[in-house]
Amino acid sequence: MFEDKTLVCKECGQEFVFTAGEQEFYQEKGFENEPQRCKPCRDARKRQNHPREHFEATCAKCGATASVPFKPSEDRPVYCDACFAEMKNQ
């Protein structure tokens, strides 16, 4: 029913593929227009319109200051990137 289409991003001018699966999703959701931007440009636009708030916290393992994208709660530990990666690899 649907076939992949090559579209041109109105933001960066690069070609991108509007897949058959994406077209089916658009139809199911009732979207009438095809996307006008490639995924990287859509993502950049979302970040620009909805910047993510960051909070400062103290790492529970090493005591360093960490910046996290969620509001830390007192009942759960927060780790800096290095300590979190170290724990994840164990």
Structurally, the chain folds into a number of domains equal to: 2
Q: Are residues 9 and 44 located together in one domain of the fold?
A: yes
Beta bridge partners of 55: 68
Contacts of 8 (CB under 8 A, 6+ apart): 14, 15, 16
Q: Are residues 45 and 60 located together in one domain of the fold?
A: no
65-68 and 15-18 strand pairing: unpaired
Q: Are residues 41 and 16 located together in one domain of the fold?
A: yes
Percent of the chain with pLDDT over 90: 71
Q: Are residues 44 and 71 located together in one domain of the fold?
A: no
pLDDT at res. 14? 97
Q: Are residues 43 and 15 located together in one domain of the fold?
A: yes
Res 34 pLDDT > 90: yes
Q: Are residues 63 and 37 located together in one domain of the fold?
A: no
What average pLDDT does the segment 4-21 reach? 96
Number of residues that this document lists for the chain: 90
pLDDT at res. 24? 96
**Owning domain of residue 67:** 55-89
Distance between CA 80 and CA 65 in Å, rounded?
7
pLDDT tens profile 16-29: 999 999 999 999 99
Q: Are residues 41 and 66 located together in one domain of the fold?
A: no
How many other CB atoms are found less than 10 A from the CB of residue 1? 6
pLDDT at res. 69? 86
Res 90 pLDDT > 90: no
Q: Are residues 81 and 59 located together in one domain of the fold?
A: yes
Q: Are residues 17 and 38 located together in one domain of the fold?
A: yes
